[in-house]
Amino acid sequence: MDKWLRIALGMFIIAFGANSYAPMLLAYKMEAGLSESTVTFLLAAYILGLVPALLIGGKLSDRVGRRALMRPALVISALSSLIILAGGFGHTWLIGLGRFIGGIAIGFVMSSGAAWLREISDAPAAVSAKRATLASTGGFSGGPLVAGLLAQFAPFPLILPWAFHAIATVIVAFLVWNLPEVPVAGTIKGRMLPSIAFSSRFLWSVAAWAPWVFGCASTAFAILVSLTNQHFEHKIAYAGVIACVTMAIGMLVQPIVPRLGKGFVPPAVIGMGFAFLGMVFSYIIVRTDNPMWVAPAVLCLGTAYGIMMVSGLREVQLMAPAHELGSLIGIYYSMTYLGFFVPFVVSLFAPRFGYDTVFLIGMAVIALSVYPVTRVIRKYAPETES
């Protein structure tokens, strides 16, 4: 098995566990009686561990190497699932704790894993970005499907999904553990945030839209599922399928993103266009209460997720010097994962202002962002893509 593929498997299984919670939103509401705001906060709780882990992990991996972070990430990921499993016995705080340390695991692997995968092969930056995002997206897609089916049709719905992931993670750890390290030239000294993170290029070509990456995905499998699950008999399985399809669509469109870079409209802006359409269809769902509109909404939101994820990672790899690559990847991923707070924020404001108003605001924010994002990306585009 190729070395880069083993690294990709490590990224896959940790992402698998992180997004296994998506269909469990409904499972914990139905089986444990938790409220909408509680389950959506638990969805985003792992961001509290993920963001600092990404920022620290990216800088640390530039100093001590990528493998030094991948190993503990796998151990922590398995431990996270076991703690969440224990939370299924009536201890909600354990679910939150498990999600938190699961965030640490994915934070470490997303900063070190993507950089390690890039460095261990001779593939171009665009190909490495595609491999890294396919690995993580594959996990984000497979996790909720397996968890949703187990929670819906197997016994012990709050236990088996997490036990499955813990066992699978141990198996993958054996494949990754002794892979060779790639020498790194970074230093732990200096700024935690590289100077390029404050440049207009990074702020507009990446940071301005990065939260939409998982904001789009979580809108599909958390908000839209919550709005439409009453129309379906097997609600948890439905939630798992929607989450799986959303992420799978993103995975399927990712291979074509490098080709989009040769067009006049930057790939990130194309992704924003699909995000806008996703907001439009979501608005229609609210106004009509018709689940048939879920399909085009998920198609658009999943496509937006896939295009923007690769576009951002590609931009980061093009602009970052080698000794700051891990750090800037960590910052980029941190910004994308902030989108997981979208369902929680919506659960607080939508009851007062209405879901339709929330989606209209989303459309407006995207529309206002298109011009400055396009302008900056075009300014710094490589000559071969201009």
3-class secondary structure, 113: helix
- pLDDT digit string (tens) for 207-262? 888 999 999 999 999 999 999 999 999 999 999 999 999 999 998 998 888 777 66
Q: Please report the pLDDT score of residue 256 as a whole number.
A: 84
Q: Please report the pLDDT score of residue 192 as a whole number.
A: 64
Q: Is the C-alpha dihedral spanning 18, 22, 23, 27 positive or negative?
A: positive
Q: What is the pTM of this model?
A: 0.85
Question: Which residues of the chain carry a pLDDT beneath 50?
Answer: 384-386
CA distance 319 to 382: 11
Q: Which domains does the chain have, with CATH numbers?
A: 3-177+191-385 (1.20.1250.20)
Q: Is the C-alpha dihedral spanning 333, 122, 325, 50 positive or negative?
A: positive
Q: Please report the pLDDT score of residue 386 as a whole number.
A: 44
CA distance 318 to 307: 17
CA dihedral 144, 150, 151, 153 (to 10 degrees): 130
- pLDDT digit string (tens) for 101-144? 999 998 888 778 877 887 777 777 667 777 887 888 889 899 99
The pair of structure tokens assigned to 79 is 């431990």
